[in-house]
Amino acid sequence: MNAHSPSKPEIGPDLKKLHIKTYGCQMNVYDSERMLDLLRPLGYEVSDRPEGADLVLLNTCHIREKAAEKVYSEIGRLKELREEKIAAGEGRMTIAVAGCVAQAEGQEIMNRAPAVDLVVGPQAYHQLPELIARTTRAKGERLAADFAPDAKFDALPNEREVSGPTAFLTVQEGCDKFCTFCVVPYTRGAEWSRPVAAILDEARRLADKGVRELTLLGQNVNAYNGADASGADSTLAKLMYALAEIPGIDRLRYTTSHPNDMGDDLIEAHRDLPAVMPYLHLPVQSGSDKILRAMNRKHGRQSYIDLIANIREARPDLALSGDFIVGFPGETDKDFEDTMDLIRQVRYAASFSFKYSPRPGTPAAAMPGQVSDEVMDARLQALQSLILEQQHDFKSALVGKTLDVLFEKPGRRDGQAIGRSPYLQSVFVENAAHLLGQIVPVRIEAVGPNSLQGALI
């Protein structure tokens, strides 16, 4: 063992316990999995609880104030657990903050929460082994987080642990869009795409381990333009054609897309490439042209509606989902009504909706006309009940139909299995536990609040 080389951290004879808590989007889920892949060879095993852990990693989200503030209360709780652990003679607990709060507020975390041993941003987590080795010797060292993402991906281990037949795969990171409400361009940096070969390689390894469905991730995934074998820019559609060739990979999804990057070849792939699932998450945020302009979304209300019509022409059964913000500064009742009207025209199968949260350093936080919490609450409730109705309509229309379900995990009841429809709904099926990892036709029989009930035919 070499205690002096930072790249060779000390490994004790016993397994060390690691607890990871993940906040935020799917990319953080992917990153947490990769951090685990990185730490497992150093003798860490996962623990479901923070109690008694040797290392606790908070993989944080900065998108709304609530998400970011949670981190500080969690750190307070961990500090107490650490004191208990030390008092019990079980050694120290290293507390690490990763993810987007680490990137955005690194120094502030160090000042405000002295219990934190290390802070590592989303582009630097491949340095974790070295950082952890250093902090166990000299507490409080912090590494700046602005590394190029290609360095990170190259430094990650090839081995990935999989849990079931579906997996996330990051193909693109960062955002150049600078919507005026959003921190992502600051926490994740500029748009960058992984080369095609690296993605195909990761996908093949996943397929070898039984993965059947990939969800390709990127903050602006449809802006994907990674280099192909000849060095030319690829597109997301071309990438998906190549991925669909891999034996075992039967289903492809991607998230999240921006309306302005919905290329013709991507729309055509929804029509022509069977592996592309008929589900699209395409955030619009607002249905008011005035608000869309103030948000710097760079598209209008009608262009979004037209785009959806185009995509539905290619794939009529498409399940559409969106993101909405209510109470953006300057949003009047009329602007909100425009959003409701857009939702009625477009019809969504699912959606995510949020009250506007002013984020430090973003242009919208300084805009006049901030909307009161009461008004935001009322608008959010109205919007969510409309979407819920639409979601119910979409699901109800599937009753009596036969859908291909990819079975992912056992259900609570004996013999029951839970899978996903092409439209991303959870489907519960009895006497299907022997079908995990397989794609099987299922007749839809009933609609639940968050799922569908089906039967094998």
Residues that bind ligand SF4 (CB under 6 A): 175, 177-179, 182, 184-185, 219-220, 258
Single out the residue of 17, 152, 160, 188 in contact with ligand F3S (rule: CB under 6 A).
188
Give the largest Cα separation in the chain, rounded.
Answer: 68
**Nearest Cα residue to 284 out of 251, 249, 246, 256:** 256
Name the segment binding ligand SAH (CB under 6 A); options: 99-107, 151-159, 181-189, 206-214: 181-189
Which residue in the set 16, 19, 50, 99 belongs to the binding site for ligand F3S (CB under 6 A)? 99
Give 63 or 262: the residue with its C-beta nearer to ligand F3S. 63
Asked if residue 62 binds ligand F3S (CB under 6 A), the reply is yes
Q: Residue 61 interacts with ligand F3S (CB under 6 A)? A: yes
Residue 212 binding: pick among ligand SAH, ligand F3S, ligand SF4, none (C-beta 5-8 Å cut-off by kind): none
Residue 356 binds to ligand SAH (criterion: CB under 6 A): yes
Nearest partner of 266 among 252, 249, 245, 286, judged by Cα:
252
# residues contacting ligand F3S (CB under 6 A): 13
- Asked whether the beta carbons of 311 and 262 are under 8 A apart, the reply is yes
Asked if residue 311 binds ligand SAH (CB under 6 A), the reply is no
| Ranges within 4-43 binding ligand SAH (CB under 6 A) | 25
From the list 238, 270, 359, 395, which residue makes contact with ligand SAH (rule: CB under 6 A)?
359
- For position 100 contacting ligand F3S by CB under 6 A, the verdict is yes
Q: Choose the binding region for ligand F3S from 22-30, 36-44, 254-262, 387-395 (rule: CB under 6 A).
A: 22-30
Sign of the torsion angle spanned by Cα atoms 10, 13, 15, 16: negative
Establish if 192 lies at the interface with ligand SAH (CB under 6 A): no
Q: Under the criterion CB under 6 A, does residue 25 sit at the interface with ligand F3S?
A: yes
Burial class (CB in 10 A: 0-12, 13-18, 19+), 212: buried
Q: Which is nearer to ligand SF4, 177 or 443 (CB)?
A: 177
* Residue 181 within binding range of ligand SAH, rule CB under 6 A: yes
- Of residues 63 and 243, the one with the C-beta less far from ligand SAH: 63
Identify the residue among 18, 35, 167, 184 touching ligand SAH (CB under 6 A).
184
Selected from 262, 325, 349, 427, the binder of ligand SAH by CB under 6 A is 325
Residue among 285, 288, 391, 425 that touches ligand SAH (CB under 6 A)? 285
Q: How far is the CB of 355 from ligand F3S (least distance, A)?
A: 16
Candidates 85-93, 180-188, 402-410, 438-446: pick the segment binding ligand SAH (CB under 6 A): 180-188
By the rule CB under 6 A, 145 interacts with ligand SAH: no
**Binding residues for ligand SAH, per CB under 6 A?**
25, 63-64, 181-182, 184, 219-220, 256, 283, 285, 323, 325, 354, 356-357, 359
Chain residues that interact with ligand F3S, rule: CB under 6 A: 24-25, 27-28, 61-63, 99-100, 183-184, 187-188
